[in-house]
Amino acid sequence: MSNFFEKSDLSRNEAESIISDTLQKCDDGELYLENSKSETILLDDNKIKNSSYNSDLGFGFRAISGEVVAYSHSNEISKDSLRQSSENLKSTLKSAKGSYNHEIPKSNKKYYDNINPIEQKSLNEKIDILNDVNNYLRSKDGNVKQVTANFLGEQKSIEIIRSGGETLSDVRPLIRFNVSVMLEKDGRKETGVYGVGGRQSYDSYLKDDNWKKVCDEALRIATVNLESKPAPAGEMKVVLGPGWPAILIHEAVGHGLEGDFNRKKTSAFHNLMGQRVASEGVTIVDDGTIDNRRGSLTIDDEGTPTEKTVLIENGILKNFMQDRLNARLMNTRSTGSGRRENYRHIVLPRMRNTMMQSGNQTQDEMIRSVDKGIFAVSFGGGQVDITSGKFVFNCTEAYEIVNGKIGSPIKGATLIGDGPSILKEVSMVGNDMMMDPGIGTCGKAGQGVPVGVAQPSILINRMTVGGTKL
Amino acid sequence: MVKEQEFLEKKASHCLGLAKKFGATGSIVVVKNSVSETVNFRNKKLDESNRSDDLGVSITTYIGKKKSSISSSNLLNDNLNILIEKCVETTKNTPEDEFNSLPDKDLLAKKAKDLDLYDNTHIENDQKISYLKKLEDAASHDKKIVNTESSFTQNKSNFVLANTEGFCDGYKTSSFTASSVTVAKDEKSMERDYEYSSKCFLKDLDDADELGKLAADQTIRKLSPQKIGSEKIAIIFDKRIAKGMLRTFASAISSSAISRGTSFLRDKVNQKIFSDKINVFDKPDILKGLGSRNFDSEGVKTDTLKLVDQGILKHYLIDTYNGKKLNLKSNGRCGGTSNLYFENGNINFKDLLNSNSKSLYITETIGHGSNIVTGDYSVGATGFLVENGEFKYPINEITIAGNFKDMFQNITLANDLEFKYATNSPTMLIEGMVVAGK
């Protein structure tokens, strides 16, 4: 754990008294301290292109009165700096007359180990694996024209000091290993991308030549795309494969169920609580408690232990995801969903691992039932307009379905749908629920946080496919 | 207040000294300070105030052809000692790359000239609040507007870039940004839209009333949208979307994509990639320009480039490393473009709307549907159906798709260019794209 006051002219006691003094008439708030170390080792174009290391230290001081949030951050942990922040907060909240809510739930559970993944593998070992990846892919297929592979490792230590001196802390490891390969054949170029990651050491994902599986998958996707035809344009049936395609859930309903948008009534879901928003058999949870997953957290960035929050149960909307601010203003409790990218940012209610539970059908049944449609297996990213409810996601591996059979691969296309109605179009839910490989980052209000998704195969009756073939 | 040049220069030279002491043969350092103050409003009330003070250093050290880098927000001397020693150590253990080097000395920028990028004015939070009150009053003039959010940010930054070839320079910049996001509602739908203004000088910022009213009008006109059928149709891109085509163009001609062979514009210099009438400039020395700069992120001088001349691609965007790989000299584009823009076309906005009996006017796209390897493009879109030059009704839940190779050849530009962002385009018409809807 970091000792944030070790090299500072500010002692912990002094910090606590500034915090308590600043927050005395506020409803909530805290000092958030963060020390993160991260590395990137990148192989590209046959060479180690980049080896970089970042060390980031800073604090964010937050005071809340009613609906108003005052925030000030700095990377200088010193008496002057904290006092200046305190003055900024006080001047914004001059007329605050709330009473501080000291209550914060406790838990002893931990969902990852206190390790520093960067230090657990030497630079030379990492460079060796990257070179092996490059040689392996180039020797496996003569059409390989470009290989990019990288290690991203991070250890983030946080401490939250609340008014009265209550202190909560967490140490969060996170790694990612990515491979991207470009093929060229008969003048045509296509790429395939795959990666793995989570809150464990690099070796948990890469030992025993496991890195070869990552390479093979990237190469397989690129190979499929070399043969792809233009995608169709228009409304049709869509079968989504299990795992990573759950980006659909994240975009279509996840963002719209975040507490802030519903308190402000700007989400297309704000007046649908208790109502049917999905077909029977569709259950969606947001779970921060799965061991070592990318989106898991022992405590959120306000100190609340995370949990498994049921969002939609058997088609009925049950809960929004809440941080402390929005929970208080909506007369409910925090679901441990308060997150921030780092100390530079305010807390917002965010997703963790968003998952649709398994049903009873098989992927085979789904494909057999479709006369004309597409089967989408892998995705790039997605985006949503939470107010109109319209969302998109981009296929990176998809096939046409003709008369109940999988046909030719089709070029990457954007799929567009309407969040509040799309899950009512789900007519089959598979028995093959799968987690994503651990590579997702979710963006909101300029802040990126690591998240996970999971789902079984599903059949959607009607979605618009954004291809070029009419 | 933002840190002064002297402080940043002292830190920078301290870092260069440490790198040398630990055994680096060359190094480059950037020390940057940025101080922002933001006030957010929602429904005519204060919602958030935010002050940020970011100080950071990044250093790249070389030992011959080996290279590594570090960055940190902790500028205490103890920490810099540890980090720079670690950086040099990592450099030793990183394999050589024959193209690694500091920029050629003769390409480094001379003394920075004043491009009028810094406004000393400080706007107090109370003044921001009165601007936002005025803005939100204007934004809520119609009862269909059910939510207003607005924001005012003042940013002051200063930086110093120094290297072991003797380069040491930097300057202050400022920006003042106001934005308005509104939500409108009717029986059938709820829609959101926005308007925004960002300037180097406070006095140039758009009027609060105008900004609020524009945001509200743009939102209300989106209410009760329809979905249309799938067809091939002419598409008109609003300026705020048209500039995105230039961003894609810029990524596709970056020397890194070219040297790696991952761009659909590789080997296209001196070939016609746009229609005849298209000219594209990247001009770094526009006074008060949002993308203006004296040198790139390696200290290399930046001249104005006519990237596209009558449809013909003339330059890539070149940095030192990829330049050496491609056997080309850096043209000062490490870190990307400066003020990038399409020159005006010779048809006015009204005539552009009228140039097809039926077209789609796109005001927003969502999704990351631009593939610079293949040139394929497919995104979700929102906009309006235009018939005989008139906006008929709003449209959503459609996608638009094509391939940039064809799209670039079919661009017609209006003559309504303005410098609202760092990258700017006049309103743009592209023929022959495919819309997917019902």
Side-chain half-sphere CA neighbours of B339 within 13 A: 21
CA triple A440-A441-A444, angle to 5 deg: 145
- B 369-428 residues with CB < 8 A to A: 369, 371, 373-374, 376, 378-380, 382, 396-403
Indicate if B189 and B271 belong to the same structural domain: no
> Is A220 within the bounds of a domain?
yes
Residue A331 CB: number of other CB atoms within 10 A?
6
Q: Which of residues 74-93 of B touch A (CB under 8 A)?
A: 74, 76, 78-79, 83, 86-87, 90-91, 93
Do A300 and A186 share a structural domain?
Answer: no
Q: Which of B157, B185, B220 is the last residue of a domain?
A: B220
Instruction: Indicate if A206 and A285 belong to the same structural domain.
Output: no
Is B73 part of the contact surface with chain A (CB cutoff 8 Å)?
yes
Whether residues A297 and A202 share a domain: the answer is no
Q: Which domain holds residue B163?
A: 5-220
- Chain B hits for A71, CB-CB cut-off 8 Å, are 48-51
pLDDT of residue B1: 83
Residues of A whose CB is below 8 A from B366? 383-385, 390-392
For residue A76, being part of any structural domain is answered with no
| Interchain CB distance below 8 Å, A146 and B376 | no
Q: Are residues B410 and B307 in the same domain?
A: yes
Domain termination residue (choose one: A226, A247, A267) = A226
Q: Give the closest of B70, B93, B398 to A54, CB-based.
A: B70
Minimum distance, in Å, between the CA of residue A164 and any CA atom of chain B: 24
What total of structural domains would you count in chain B?
2
Closest A-chain CA to B37: A72
Does A209 reside within a domain? yes
Do A186 and A283 belong to one domain? no
Q: How far apart are CA A175 and CA A199, in angstroms?
A: 6
Find which of A52, A85, A247, A386 to mutate to test the B interface (most B CBs within 10 Å of its CB): A52
Contact B380 A416 (CB under 8 A): yes
Looking at residue A419, its amino acid is: G
Is B191 within 8 Å of chain A by CB?
yes
Q: Search chain A and give the residue with CA nearest B364.
A: A385
Chain A residues close to B437, C-beta within 8 Å: 234-235, 464
Q: In what order do the strands lie in the sheet with B340-342?
A: B312-313, B305-309, B280-282, B340-342, B423-424
Chain A with chain B: Cβ pairs closer than 8 A: 239
Q: Is residue B115 domain-shared with residue B157, that is, in the same domain?
A: yes
Cβ B49–A70 below 8 Å, yes or no? yes
Asked whether residue A410 falls in the same domain as residue A264, the answer is yes
CATH code for the domain in which residue B112 is found: 3.30.2290.10
Q: Do B379 and A414 touch (CB under 8 A)?
A: yes
Q: pLDDT digit string (tens) for A25-48?
A: 999 999 999 999 999 999 999 999
A214 and A359 both lie in a single domain: no
Q: Are strands A47-65 and B340-342 parallel, antiparallel or unpaired?
A: unpaired
Number of domains in chain A: 2
Same structural domain, A131 and A184: yes
Query: Inter-chain contact B367–A268, Cβ cutoff 8 Å?
Result: no
Tens of pLDDT, residue by residue over A54-110, are 999 999 999 999 999 999 999 999 999 999 999 999 999 988 888 998 889 999 899
Residues B73 and B211 in one domain: yes
B299 and B199 part of one domain = no
Residue B68 is predicted with a pLDDT of 96
pLDDT score, position A10: 95
| B284 shares its domain with B213 | no
The CA distance from B346 to the nearest CA of chain A, in Å, is 30
Give yes or no: residues A453 and A416 share one domain. Answer: yes
**Nearest chain A Cα distance for residue B228, angstroms:** 10
Give whole-number Cα distances, B241 to A283, A414, B228, in Å: 37, 17, 20
CA distance B86 to chain A (A): 9
Q: Are A417 and A304 contained in the same domain? A: yes
Nearest to A7 among B78, B86, B190 (CB): B78
**Is the CB of residue B244 less than 8 Å away from at least one CB of chain A?**
no
Can you tell me the distance from the alpha carbon of A202 to that of A11, in angstroms, rounded to the nearest whole number?
36
Chain B residues in contact with A468 (beta carbon < 8 A): 378, 401-403, 434
Q: What share of chain B is helix, strand, coil (3-state, %, to 5)?
A: 25, 40, 35
If contacts are CB pairs under 8 Å, which of residues 133-162 in chain B contact chain A?
146-147
CB contact under 8 A, B369 and A416: no
Do A144 and A171 form a contact (C-beta atoms < 8 A)?
no
CA dihedral (B200, B206, B208, B212) in degrees, to 10, reads -120
A405: containing domain: 233-466
Is residue B332 located within the same domain as residue B385?
A: yes
ipTM for the whole complex:
0.91
Of the candidates A67, A74, A234, which has its C-beta nearest B53's C-beta? A74
Per the domain annotation, does A134 fall within a domain?
A: yes
Pairing of strands A308-313, A405-410: unpaired
Same domain flag for B102 and B241:
no
Domain of residue A216, CATH code: 3.30.2290.10
Give the mean pLDDT of chain A. 95
Of B52, B83, B191, the CB nearest to A344: B52
Mutate which of B48, B85, B403 to disrupt the A interface (most A C-beta within 10 Å)? B48
Q: Do residues A216 and A301 both lie within one domain?
A: no
A 10 A CB-CB count for A94 gives: 8
Does B129 touch chain A if contact means CB atoms closer than 8 Å?
Answer: no
Residue with tokens 């009330």: B45
In this complex, do B87 and A53 lie within 8 Å of one another by their Cβ atoms? yes
* Set of chain A residues whose Cβ sits within 8 Å of the Cβ of B434: 233, 467-470
Give the closest-approach CA distance of A127 to chain B in angstroms: 8
Same domain assignment for residues B151 and B47: yes
Which pLDDT tens digits describe chain B residue by residue (438 residues)? 899 999 999 999 999 999 999 999 999 999 999 999 999 999 999 999 999 999 999 999 999 999 999 999 999 888 999 999 999 999 999 999 999 999 999 999 998 789 999 999 999 999 999 999 999 999 999 999 999 999 999 999 999 999 999 999 999 999 999 999 999 999 999 999 999 999 999 999 999 999 999 999 999 999 999 999 999 999 999 999 999 999 999 999 999 999 999 999 999 999 999 999 999 999 999 999 999 999 999 999 999 999 999 999 999 999 999 999 999 999 999 999 999 999 999 999 999 999 999 999 999 999 989 999 999 999 999 999 999 999 999 999 999 999 999 999 999 999 999 999 999 999 999 999 999 999
Nearest to A388 among B45, B48, B192 (CB): B192
Find the CB nearest B396 among A73, A390, A469. A390
Q: Which of A314, A336, A351 is nearest to A454 (CA)?
A: A351
Of A412, A417, A468, nearest to B371 by CB-CB distance is A412
Residues A187 and A296 placed together within one structural domain of the fold: no
Contact (Cβ atoms closer than 8 angstroms) between residue A232 and residue A467 = yes
Last residue of a domain, one of B220, B241, B256: B220
Nearest to A123 among B48, B90, B438 (CB): B90
Asked if B52 lies within 8 A of A67 by C-beta distance, the reply is no
pLDDT tier, A412 (very low <50, low <70, confident <90, very high otherwise):
confident
d(CA A220, CA A234): 28
The answer to whether the beta carbons of residues A239 and A457 sit under 8 Å apart is yes
**Cα angle: B45, vertex B48, B50; to 5 degrees:** 145
The token pair that represents A168 in the structure block: 């909560």
Residues A314 and A429 in one domain: yes
CB of B303 closer than 8 Å to CB of B331: yes
Residue A1 has pLDDT above 60, yes or no: no
pLDDT at A381: 85
* A127 lies in some domain: yes
Among candidates A75, A145, A344 on the partner chain, residue whose Cβ is nearest the Cβ of B74: A75
Stretch A139-151: mean pLDDT: 97
- Both B165 and B285 in one domain: the answer is no
A383 DSSP β-pair partners: A392
B71 reaches A (C-beta below 8 A): yes
B272 and B390 housed in the same domain: yes
Looking at the domain assignment, is residue A307 inside a domain? yes
In order, the DSSP letters of A336-352 are S-EE-SSTTS--EE--S
Query: Among the three residues A203, A226, A249, which one is the final residue of a domain in this structure?
Result: A226
The answer to the question of residue A194 being in a domain is yes
Chain A nearest C-alpha distance from B425 (Å): 24
Decide: A104 and A168 in contact? Cβ < 8 Å: yes
- Please give the residue of chain B at the shortest CA–CA distance from A4: B74
Cα distance between residue A262 and residue A116, in whole Å: 38
* Residue A73 resides in a domain: no
**Together in a domain, B187 and B291:** no
**Domain final residue, candidates B220, B250, B278:** B220
**Yes or no, beta carbons of B51 and A85 under 8 Å apart:** yes
